[in-house]
Amino acid sequence: MSDCLFCKIVAGDIPADIIFEDDKVIVFKDINPKANVHLLMIPRIHIASLAELTEEHDALMAHMMRLLPVLAHEQGLDSGFRTIINTGKDGGQIVFHLHIHLLGGSGLPGFA
């Protein structure tokens, strides 16, 4: 999608602080971090949100889920981390390219 911010990061058209990438995903630092560690994991392909997932994305999503604890470990988050997926306007989603927030470290606020 030409007008999608995260597709532009995938294409290299706007810069990001990329900490991991493979053929399926890119992981970069959130520009406005809410915790000591705040990364965003996105698929290279454009999927607007969790609500647009279909069966064809099952392998991709499993890949993303399994990668999260690996990245958390690499970030030193061995005592725990938080993942968040905001979906839709009322879910707090601002960028409509599916992304998983990975948060951790001593700055992590409580959530209940």
Positions annotated as catalytic residues are 99
**Binds 4: which of ligand AMP, Zn ion, none (CB < 5-8 Å by kind):** Zn ion
Q: Tell which one of 26, 67, 81, 93 touches ligand AMP (CB under 6 A).
A: 93
Size of the site for Zn ion (CB under 5 A): 6
Instruction: List own/partner pairs for 65-69 with CB under 8 A and 24 or more apart.
Output: 67/20, 67/25, 67/27, 67/41, 68/41, 68/100, 68/102
Q: How distant is the alpha carbon of residue 46 from its chain centre?
A: 13
Residues that bind ligand AMP (CB under 6 A): 5, 16, 28, 30-32, 40, 86, 92-95
